[in-house]
Chain A
Amino acid sequence: MAFLFRPIVNHCVTSAGVSSMPNVLIVDDDAFVRTHLRDSLAGTGFDLSEAADGEEACRLAAAKHPEVILLDLVMPRQSGLEALERIRSVSPDSQVIVITSLESEGLIDQVLTAGARDFVTKPFHPLEIIFAVQRLLKA
């Protein structure tokens, strides 16, 4: 099955007035998932960065203010929900997509109420990730 996509990236203008590609921060403690997410977005032109836990994610979010953050919910040291709260305070304009293998009405509601803009359940197909990111960047 072949998927053909045109680059979906819109150029952003930074505070310095320099045009740059939207930054997407991938946050997951599982290196395999991070690689899968990176592969999913490869070729779409995003500037990708990675964090293996919530603390690193918060540091990167504060430094880079990524347009989109793909955030796992279950992580060591700090849960994804706790990281989400901190990310919202250090980078309020970043749009967060929660990616999780857990599904329950209560959890989804809590995640969205906490400020996430979307959620995708694992296992995911690359299309889902691309479409979810695309949707937020277009919004």
Chain B
Amino acid sequence: MPASRYWICDSGGRILGPLAIETLRQLLASGRVKDVVRVRKDSESWQRLEQVPEVAAALETAGELPQLEVARIRSWLGEFRSRPVHEVFGVACQASVEQYRLAYFRMVKAYHPARLPAGSPEELRSACVEMFQFLAKLMAAVEKGTDGATPANGSKSCGGSEIATPANGSKSGGGTNGTTPPNGSKSGGASNGATPPNGSKNGVINGSPGTATERSQAQKRFSYGPDEFVGITPGKNFLQATVRVTPQNVQMFTQHALVNLSTQGVFLPTSRPIPLGTLLDVRFEFEDSPHQITTRGRVVWENVGVTSMGAGLGVRFIRLAKDDQEFIQRFVDKVTQPAPSARQAG
């Protein structure tokens, strides 16, 4: 039996639908859909909200989100204060000011206080203002060339671009339930959203290009290159990327500090330039497993190959089923576990 579909109508007669109940719940929980006066279910006629109990209940329980959102914003703010500017904005470290600007606009609008629904808690408003001001200040520094990176013919260079800790020394940490990473972002993860699942902050993604030897060693350690396993072809509607996941390249889910499995993303090595914002359908095939995962994502990061990671794209998943995320995590855990002899020795 097909799932029911719902339409909602506000007091101005504006209609949204048809939607699955789960999507409707998400929208109601976001606080941006409040003024619901009528509901239509499948082919039935319009009814008052209270006559469709599942929708009325979803609206009533929509108040839990703000606390989670505050924790998420504060968590990201704390993380961003310790990261190089280009990582905050999710652009290549030599991105042009124009690219910084576009990334900035994408990020900052999510925190504009005017975007909050009327009646939002003061704590949420305050967190948004703090993030908004932080990003605006950072962007102003980029435009002025005072962020530590020297603009040269419109481009930013890398290195030495750590974000200064505010004068008050604040690194407002907060919750660890980070869901939507600010720099691109639609979906949620379960951990702190910035630290790779293995907890590693080994300097691979430190904003510095590194020496040729370091790059070579890192490439060797991670053992994948742009043309090794990512095939990108035009699909029916979107670009289609096919990725064969092996023990040698599984770090694509963990290596990148901001685009990793815990933030519902992946770093795909490829030398093919794909503009930020491009939508991709991605199919993962796993070595020694018949399991395949098909998902959809958006390019939120581009790396032109100046860091030790090599050229590639950061893709944030628009949707990744919980089962699929768990499968990937198990695969990562399995292939990154030390061999039994090493465990014994250790």
Contacts and interface: CB of A to CB of B under 8 A. Distances in A.
Interface of A: 1, 29, 73-82, 101-110, 112, 115, 117-118, 121, 123-125, 127-128, 131-132, 135
B interface, by DSSP: helix, strand, loop or mixed? mixed
Nearest to B15: A79
B228 to A, nearest CB: 26
Interface in B14-63: 14-20, 22-23, 26-27, 30, 32-33
B14 A128 contact: no
B15 A135 contact: no
A101 B319 contact: no
Contacts of A102: 16, 27, 30, 32-33
Given A81-B17, A104-B30, A105-B319, A123 B115 contact: yes
B221 interface: no
Contacts of A29: 14
B296 to A, nearest CB: 7
A106 B105 contact: no
Nearest to A116: B237
Contacts of B19: 81, 106-107, 110
B277 interface: yes
Nearest to B26: A104
A121 B32 CA distance: 12
Nearest to A107: B23
Contacts of B101: 127
12 contacts: A79-B17, A81-B18, A82-B15, A82-B18, A102-B30, A104-B26, A105-B319, A106-B20, A106-B22, A107-B26, A121-B110, A128-B105
Contacts of B275: 131, 135
A75 B14 contact: yes
B187 interface: yes
A79 B20 CA distance: 15
Contact of B318 (A73, A74, A76, A112): A112
A101 B31 CA distance: 11
A53 B300 CA distance: 32
Contacts of A109: 296, 318-319
Contact of A104 (B12, B27, B237): B27
Given A109-B296, A128-B105, A115 B318 contact: no
B279 A112 contact: yes
9 tightest Cβ-Cβ pairs between the two chains A and B: A106-B23, A104-B26, A125-B105, A79-B15, A74-B16, A74-B14, A76-B13, A109-B319, A105-B187
B15 A76 contact: yes
A105 B318 contact: yes
Contact of B7 (A79, A103, A125, A127): A79
B15 A108 contact: no
Nearest to B140: A1
Contacts of A124: 105, 109
A128 B319 contact: no
B318 A108 contact: yes
Contact of A123 (B14, B112, B277, B319): B112
A138 B49 CA distance: 45
Contacts of B237: 112, 115, 117
B112 to A, nearest CB: 7
Contacts of A74: 10, 14-16
A103 B186 contact: yes
B318 A78 contact: no
B330 to A, nearest CB: 22
B283 interface: no
B26 to A, nearest CB: 4
Contact of A105 (B32, B115, B186, B238): B186
Given A79-B7, A102-B32, A107 B105 contact: no
Contacts of B278: 135
